[in-house]
Amino acid sequence: MQLTYWAEHAWLDTHVEPGVALEVSDGRFTAVRERVEAPPQGATVLRGLTIPGLANAHSHAFHRALRGTVQVGSGTFWTWREVMYQVASRLTPESYFALARAVYAEMALAGITAVGEFHYLHHAPGGAAYADPNAMGEALIAAAADAGIRITLLDTAYLSSAIRNKHSGEAPNKHQLRFSDGTAEAWAERASALKGSDHALIGAAIHSVRAVPADQLSTVAEWASARNAPLHVHLSEQTAENDACLAAHGCTPTRLLADHGVLGPRTTGVHNTHLTNEDIALLGGTTTGTCMCPTTERDLADGIGPAVVLQRAGSPLSLGSDSHAVIDLLEEARAMELDERLRTRTRGHWTAAALLRAATADGHAALGRPDAGSIEPGALADFTTVALDSVRTAGPVPRLAAEAAVFAATAADVRHTVVGGRHVVRDGVHASVPDVPDALASSIAALRG
């Protein structure tokens, strides 16, 4: 069945084009016709600026339950982590499904059509396997399907609590027992049982160099390579991680990953905050991606990563909402630019077009979907429409609609989200989760101790 959408304005990679007819069949664009002044008969009308669907390249769905709670008082990443552990301890496959379904519906309302779920909450409290060893991961896959968005489940190896020495890590603490499979080989055996689909891809992740001993890094990398799957890793988010790695291995985390075959064009380093010049050269020279998560990085006081020089060195940039202090990829995009302005006291490090590319095409590529993130024939028909008549976006001339969207709009300005040609959000209302705030509130309330 062929569907036709008519975009009042559409972002076509380099410019805003008025009057664009989008023809869709079997979930992909079959034609993109410009200079169509009026909606064709039977077409669905999209008022505003239609852009490719946004890609949230780094998510921990259960962290959404922390919003508000962890903004009380002061502390560091490490004190925040203790609160996070308490929430993790209460989740079951059933409650995780309910929470993730609501979180992914919130993402759809924000124009996000695909999420990279960095998933390490594998087992029951105490570390015992569920009857289905992948019950938690399958709950996330089902939640994304219910919410109508695509997911790349980045099944995460998390085996130790800290670096002990160059040969081993410290045993997981009582909170982390749920995360650990014991060894990378056991992780690989469990992860191999996960099944992908049109809406769900299976990828891999190394939680961090502190959580996977050096001699087991290559096992995870080889598993991903054998499947041509995305591989993500938290990298140099905290200076304490760098210090521990230098003390045990005599090198930075980036060099350690390079020496064990982890870096490469299918790999994305998340945060990449505290890097040396050699680290930047290694990441860029191997075309290893960088996923920046500015709203989380500032919420946790992590620091501002060297995104400009990473991109210049050859590292593609993507964006994620990580701990979900907010879920708003437009905010992540402009925050990357505005944080850099604060750091350097100069403006204009990225154009609106470059920031949109990080939020769309490069984000989808980081999640293993190079056929998404553009409005062109053959691409997945995943797109979103941002209002141009809200109090935030009204005023600029249409040719500056991309600038208005990136630098002024918020998730609240998203009017439509379409995934595979199917309307998931229409006029700001989710098709299958009609009351997303209630779904969030009830699923989070169920986790309170």
Where in the sequence numbering do the catalytic residues fall?
A: 271, 322
Residue pointed to by tokens 């979907």: 369
Helix (H, G, I), strand (E, B) or coil at 291: strand
Query: How many angstroms separate the Cα of 171 from the Cα of each of 140, 167, 441?
Result: 27, 13, 35
- How far apart are the C-alpha atoms of 259 and 215, rounded to whole Å? 11
Q: How many helices (H) and strands (E) does the chain have?
A: 15, 18
- 30 in Cβ contact with 377 (< 8 Å): yes
Where does residue 86 rank: exposed (0-12), middle (13-18), buried (19+ CB within 10 A)? middle
Residue 43 CA to residue 65 CA, distance in Å, equals 39
Q: 439 pairs with which residues across the strands?
A: none
Per-residue CA distances from 365 to 97, 113, 151, 437 (Å):
26, 13, 13, 30
CB contact at 8 A, 75 and 17: no
* 382 neighbors 28 (Cβ within 8 angstroms): no
